[in-house]
Amino acid sequence: MNPESTDEPIVYRSVVLKDVAPYQYMKVCLVLEDKSTKVSAVDLKYFIISGLKSLHGEVGAALHFDVFKYDEDTLTAFLRVSKSGLVKLWSSLTLLGFYNNQCCAFRVLQVSPFLLSLTGNSRELELD
């Protein structure tokens, strides 16, 4: 019996998966007024937690996030946060304005549900 000769119609289904990734990854850069200031990874995490606490209280300070990679020279970090906590983390980063009595700002460079997509940036691509 030929499977193509059956009288049953072929049914096609479209499957779309939305928000299947449990985490969001952020590439952020801390811009300081004094470029010579060094910030360790521990100080960076504490600074972010204090921003979460000041904006969202104790519940915000309890938000779980990870610092995957941090470069002290460029003050650039890769953060991982649950997708439900992304808005809280992002908003607290946006409102942080002072680090050790000097002006500062967090620049959110990239956000993605996939860590691999943060390794490259088409805006910085240089073609020869």
pLDDT tens-digit profile of 9-53? Answer: 888 887 776 767 899 999 999 999 998 999 999 999 999 999 999
DSSP notation for 21-59: -SEEEEEEEEEESSTT----HHHHHHHHHHHHHHHHHHH
CATH architecture of 23-117: 2-Layer Sandwich (3.30)
In single-letter form, the type of residue at position 4 comes to: E
Predicted local distance difference test score (pLDDT) of residue 20 = 76
Residue 123 tokens, joined: 């805006």
pLDDT digits (tens, 9 = 90+) for 68-82: 999 999 999 999 999
Q: For residue 103, how many other CB atoms are within 10 A of its CB? A: 11
Residue 1 tokens, joined: 């019996």
Q: Does this model's pTM top 0.75? A: yes
Better-scored residue on pLDDT, 87 or 119: 87
